[in-house]
């Protein structure tokens, strides 16, 4: 049986498992991908990728949450089409390739932290748009992101330092 490597965390990192997340002495319920936590193999597999990830950007809906990072406008999207030269990058809508709208009616992207998964450079088909975002409902699986109650996500983002990472353990 292969041995699973323990992904190490530093003090101040957000540590995520399929059961919840911890930041210092605070514990938060969260939702992970419908494919569980593990090795992400391809676009659409629903897996939340194990590893140490950095937060590259924070986005928010200015009409719904307090200012935090970059504002999400009506034309903002994120490419999830492996054939797109802008794969796993922000795009302006309408966009001729497959993409996700960042401005959503359901509130899941009212507050978003973009993780550096498959970003520098993006490998087409390896997976895109791994975010921290607001959950649909408690523990409802995501497409591979990590989702929290809105107030918990705001608390977490306000307390993560510039060198903090999101450490996902299987």
Residues 6+ apart with CB under 8 A from 60: 66, 67, 68, 69, 70, 71, 72, 110, 111, 112
Mean pLDDT value of segment 118-146: 96
Does 26 map to a domain? yes
Q: Helix (H, G, I), strand (E, B), or coil: what is residue 152? A: helix
The torsion region of residue 53 among left (phi > 0), alpha (psi -120 to 50) and beta comes to beta
The confidence score (pLDDT) of residue 2 equals: 42
Does 32 map to a domain? yes
Q: Give the CATH number, domain containing residue 147.
A: 2.40.440.10
Does 5 map to a domain? no
Contact predicate 100/77, CB 8 Å? yes
142 vs 66 pLDDT, higher one: 142
Q: What predicted TM-score, i.e. pTM, was given to this entire model?
A: 0.95
Task: Write the burial class of residue 40 (CB in 10 Å: 0-12 exposed, 13-18 middle, 19+ buried).
Answer: buried
Q: Domains in the chain: how many in total?
A: 1
Does 52 map to a domain? yes
Mean pLDDT value of segment 17-30: 97
Percent of the chain with pLDDT over 70: 97
Q: Helix (H, G, I), strand (E, B), or coil: what is residue 154? A: helix
Domain around 130: 14-72+107-168
């Amino acid at each position: 049986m292969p041995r699973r490597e323990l992904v190490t965390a530093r003090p101040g990192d957000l540590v995520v498992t399929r059961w919840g997340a911890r930041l210092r002495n605070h514990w938060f319920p969260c939702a992970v991908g419908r494919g569980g936590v593990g090795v992400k193999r391809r676009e659409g597999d629903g897996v939340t990728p194990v590893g140490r990830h950095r937060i590259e950007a924070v986005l928010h809906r200015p009409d719904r949450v307090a200012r935090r990072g970059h504002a999400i406008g009506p034309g903002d999207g994120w490419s999830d089409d492996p054939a797109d030269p802008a794969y796993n990058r922000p795009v302006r809508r309408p966009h001729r390739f497959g993409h996700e709208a960042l401005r959503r009616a359901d509130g899941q992207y009212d507050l978003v932290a973009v993780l550096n998964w498959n970003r520098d450079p993006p490998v087409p088909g390896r997976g895109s748009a791994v975010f921290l975002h607001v959950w649909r409902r408690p523990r409802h699986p995501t497409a591979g992101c990590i989702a929290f109650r809105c107030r918990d996500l705001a608390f977490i983002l306000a307390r993560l330092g510039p060198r903090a990472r999101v450490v996902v353990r299987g």
